[in-house]
Homo-oligomer: A and B are copies of this chain.
Amino acid sequence: MSKNVDFDIAEFLPYLLNQAAEQCSLDFQSYYKEKYGMLRTEWRVVFHLGKYGLMTARDVSLKAKTHKTKISRAVHELERKDFLVRETDPNDRRQERLSLTTRGKKVYDDLQRAARDYDRTITDTFKDSEVALLRKMLKSLIDPA
């Protein structure tokens, strides 16, 4: 057999992160998927427009750390569902100013509340200091300094 008997995949961080992310993703998906038929990138776009107001696709792409092709498709779908509108920037006609429709804003308010509730649910069992540390560590894993 192997000499490295102490290594345990069940303790391997990429594995734990993947399982935890998948679990939480599935849980929260039930809000935006079943209620609004949205996909992951779509609610991310909605969240950004809801929080920051008018943005270009590029802005969202940078903020959400999501590739422009994903954003492009999500925007297209959200427009089709009447959750956002876009208008060409007259000063630079390559860009489009994206903003939520009234309907989109309602969806944002609803989802944002659901997100906050869900976040509370899963952090409930931990101390505030522990949750703060968790977030800090995750951010550091995402963006190694």
Q: Give the B-binding residues of A (Cβ under 8 A).
A: 1-5, 7-9, 11-25, 27-28, 44, 47-48, 50-51, 53, 64-65, 105, 108-109, 112-113, 115-116, 118-119, 122-123, 125-126, 130, 133-135, 137-142, 144-145
12 other A-B residue contacts (CB within 8 Å) besides A9-B48, A134-B137: A4-B113, A7-B51, A7-B115, A9-B44, A12-B115, A14-B24, A14-B28, A14-B118, A17-B21, A19-B138, A126-B137, A126-B140
* Least distance between A118 CB and chain B CB atoms (Å): 7
Q: Are A112 and B18 in contact (CB under 8 A)?
A: no
Check A14 against B7 for contact (C-beta < 8 Å): no
